[in-house]
Amino acid sequence: MIGLLRRILTHPWLALAFRLYIGGLFVYAAMYKINYAAEFSETIASYRLAPYWAVNALAVFMPWIEIVCGALLILGVRVRSAAAVIAAMLAVFTVAIFINLLRGAPISCGCFKTIEDPISWWTVLRDLGWITMTLHVYRYDAVLQADRLFLGKLGRIGS
């Protein structure tokens, strides 16, 4: 029974499902932030964690990092690198939410839109779930990776 459960949890097709989900999630999340960077900068400022001089730069660059990493996950290009960046971003987001929950700040997450439900412990659990999925992708993903399918042949030619 434990062996079957282990085989299911470590199966590369489960990692592919997580990869497509997390990639699509980050592309979706970035679309709104790119279109409304000023509102997103207000959301970042409401967390009161980033220095004021960095808020606008974060609001401009962070969504582009999200969309590029999400697209790389969907396309299966440089999957481990994209998963590592996304896991790091999710860890930062989770810590920021955790700190503001301890402060009792009634702010919204700003994950997908600027006006959302206030952050809660469910938000932290949701982000921890996404971190777990991303780490699963980092560790077990081996199916339909474009760079392995196409660039792997170039590596064999070079050696």
Mean pLDDT value across the chain: 89
Query: Which of 22, 107, 138 is closest to 70 using CA atoms?
Result: 22
Average pLDDT over residues 41-51: 92
Instruction: Say what the alpha-carbon torsion angle 146, 150, 151, 154 is, to the nearest 10 degrees.
Output: 170
User: In angstroms, how far is CA 58 from the centroid of its own chain?
Assistant: 15
Report the distance separating Cα 33 and Cα 138, nearest Å: 26
Give the per-residue pLDDT at 59: 93
Average pLDDT over residues 37-61: 92
Inside any domain, residue 8 = no
pLDDT higher than 70, residue 159: no
Inside any domain, residue 158 = no
User: In angstroms, how far is CA 62 from the centroid of its own chain?
Assistant: 11
Inside any domain, residue 68 = yes
Domain total in the chain: 1
Inside any domain, residue 10 = no
**Region of poorest pLDDT, from 21-25, 45-49, 109-113, 134-138:** 109-113
Inside any domain, residue 80 = yes
* Number of other residues whose CB lies within 10 A of the CB of residue 154: 10
Inside any domain, residue 150 = no
Amino acid at 95: V
Query: Which of 58, 5, 3, 4 is closest to 33 using CA atoms?
Result: 58
Task: Tell me which of 35 and 112 has the higher pLDDT.
Answer: 35
pLDDT higher than 60, residue 139: yes
Inside any domain, residue 156 = no
Do 65 and 89 touch, CB atoms closer than 8 A?
yes
Task: Tell me which of 131 and 112 has the higher pLDDT.
Answer: 131
Query: Which of 88, 87, 80 is closest to 145 using CA atoms?
Result: 80
Report the distance separating Cα 63 and Cα 29, nearest Å: 8
**Region of poorest pLDDT, from 44-53, 65-74, 144-153:** 144-153
pLDDT higher than 80, residue 108: yes
Share of the chain above pLDDT 70, in %: 93
Share of the chain above pLDDT 90, in %: 66
Which residues form the domain of 100?
16-141
Give the per-residue pLDDT at 2: 78
Inside any domain, residue 2 = no
